[in-house]
Amino acid sequence: MRIFARVATDGGFAIAARKLNLTAPITSRAVSYLENHLGTRLLNRTTRSLALTEAGERYLRRCQNILDSIDEAEAEASAAVEQPSGCLRVHALSSFGHHLVVPAILRYQQQHPSLRVELSLSGTVPNMLEEGYDASIVVAPELPDSGLVGVGLGRIVGVVCASPQYLAVHGEPETPDELRAHQCLQLATPVFPLDKWIFSGADAPFAVNIGSARLSVNVMEGLEPAVRSGLGIGILPAGVALPGLASGSLVRVLRGYEVQPVNVYALYQSRRFLDAKIRAWIAFLREDLPTALNADNHALAVLDAA
């Protein structure tokens, strides 16, 4: 179609061949092949000139419309690799998505106001290919073996918390082993076992068996209010615990221990021909999330010092 349209527009095979960087015989054979395929003559040829047949005129108009649509589609696809556009579909684990991911999306959209974002929060990592996600943000001790490209974004350390009311009745544990005598509340995720809390020791991590948790929930938004209301002791990410620690509705216990640290990763499908909206999102996260996590850690250290 492109060769035929060029020949018809320029009025000759030789000039069309030069513009297309082809030879005149190849150009001529291409038009002949097209005519054989269509079963109709498109051009009347003489040794000195050529002219469109009636069928050729109609076909040329159709070809030009089709080729314009192809050019537009190619330009749009190429632009998607260069400039963020369209809709970015993001998944995040709900255990920290509200605190970290939603604010990050708001800051990202300030840089790209025409971009739409669809965020899904859940307790498990989805099949990104089947469910059509552009990126997933997960927390895990190590990078999941998923066949996806993974980018490390930072580290979250758990904070063991309880309410003042709970501690007034049950006392405050001084060591992790004393947790066995307390009501422990658990965030139910695939990352950690339901009946154990993992502490970082001087030499190696060690587990404390907390038994059957009085309450287990699958989202952080359910665990934090339960701890704050005095139902028991729970592990909260620093960012989730900070408002309660600052207001006094939560108390940090076992302050000298690091508990259940996890890494934050962004997962996406391929480095090759990466859409600009995904590339820009990953680049943004690599700068934004470490800053947010460091701010949480700093605020926690200030509260501890106070």
Quote the Cα angle for 48-52-57, to 5°: 165
Please give the torsion angle defined by the CA atoms of residues 186, 189, 190 and 196, in that order, rounded to the nearest 10 degrees.
-10
In whole angstroms, give the CA distance from residue 174 to residue 83.
Answer: 55
Rounded Cα–Cα distance for residues 205 and 149 (Å): 28
Model confidence at 42: pLDDT above 80: yes
Give me the pLDDT at residue 271, please.
66
Record the pTM: 0.68
Confidence bin at 81 (pLDDT 50/70/90): low
Average pLDDT over residues 291-305: 88
Greatest CA separation found in the chain? Answer: 106
Identify the pLDDT of residue 169: 94
257/230: higher pLDDT: 230
Find the DSSP H helices in the chain. 2-10, 13-20, 24-38, 54-82, 94-96, 102-111, 128-131, 164-170, 220-228, 238-247, 276-305
Summarised one tens digit per residue, pLDDT across range 234-244 is 999 888 899 99
Q: What is the pLDDT of residue 10?
A: 87
State pLDDT tens for residues 114-149. Answer: 889 999 988 777 788 778 899 999 888 887 777 788
Q: pLDDT band at 276, cuts 50/70/90?
A: confident
Helices of type H across 115-187:
128-131, 164-170
pLDDT in the model for residue 202:
61
pLDDT for the residue numbered 122: 81
Q: Percent of the chain at pLDDT above 90? A: 42
- What's the average model confidence in pLDDT over 242-261? 90
Which residues partner with 205 through β-bridges? 200
Task: Look at 99-103, 212-216, 227-231, 259-263 and tell me which has the smallest mean pLDDT.
Answer: 212-216
Give pLDDT, residue 75: 65
Mean pLDDT of 178-205: 80
Q: Mean of the pLDDT values across residues 36-50?
A: 88
Please name the residue that has the structure tokens 């990592």.
125
Q: What value does the mean pLDDT take over residues 69-89? A: 73
Query: What is the overall mean pLDDT for the chain?
Result: 86
Q: Which pLDDT score, from 0 to 100, does residue 172 have?
A: 93
- Name 176's Cβ contacts closer than 8 Å, sequence gap at least 6: 197, 199, 206, 208, 254, 257, 259
The confidence score (pLDDT) of residue 201 equals: 64
Number of H helices, E strands in the chain: 11, 13
- Give the mean pLDDT of 177-201: 83
Task: Provide, rounded to the nearest whole percent, the portion of the chain with pLDDT above 70.
Answer: 93
Nearest Cα neighbor of 7 from 22, 27, 23 is: 27
For residue 222, what pLDDT band results from cuts at 50, 70 and 90? confident
What domains, with CATH codes, occur in the chain? Answer: 2-82 (1.10.10.10), 86-306 (3.40.190.290)
Distance CA 163, CA 302 (A): 20
* pLDDT classification of 28: cutoffs 50, 70, 90: very high
What are the residues facing 140 on neighbouring strands?
A: 263
